[in-house]
Structure 1
Amino acid sequence: MTDASPETLHAPITAADILAWLENAALAVAAGEVPADELIALLGELRQASTACANASDWALLAAREAGASLRQIAPVFGKGYVRAPAARLEKLHREVLSSEQFLELMRRRHQDV
């Protein structure tokens, strides 16, 4: 992503996007337009996407710390005003990687193995 600047760097999907999609999907399911096997396949896709979003979140946490953000600045995005949640997550991540670049390389290797 060569044109990513602070003005253009955004999550590729938002909670509002998901809610709008979910409302449309629920209508189709309620109308009987989606068979069970398609829903099972969809479930698999969503679980993979959820893992990918969690990985992107972990990368952003590492990158934010590397950019100088404090745990107190990061804490509100974890849903609480406490620094324990991001601190615990960082501690867990640091058992495996030391930087956002190492994390990204780990994700690349895992993706290749799939």
Structure 2
Amino acid sequence: MNFHYELRKSSCRRPLKILTQWTLRVLEVRRHELVIGRSPTWAPCHIRYYPAVGRIYIRGPAGQYIGWTDTLAAAIELLAYADTSQVLPGNGLLNGKEPLQ
């Protein structure tokens, strides 16, 4: 999946247009990775496509696991409504280290 091409398709343009006005901003577009900032801090979140798996992986600003999806429109919607305000044990950091309590 080429994100440059996918962002031009109408199935992704409509949810991105609705959500970018309030909560999301596209910061960087690469072939297999999309970096999106979330309000209010505009911290970078990553949407990455894995060609071998054929699915899209979504990470929060602190590296939290948000989920896997099949389409870019679903990934944008899942990222917009995900709670990334705190790092929970269920969606912990990628390196396995938890913050001090």
**Structure 1 length as normaliser, TM-score?**
0.22
Say which structure is richer in strand.
2
Greater C-alpha Rg:
1
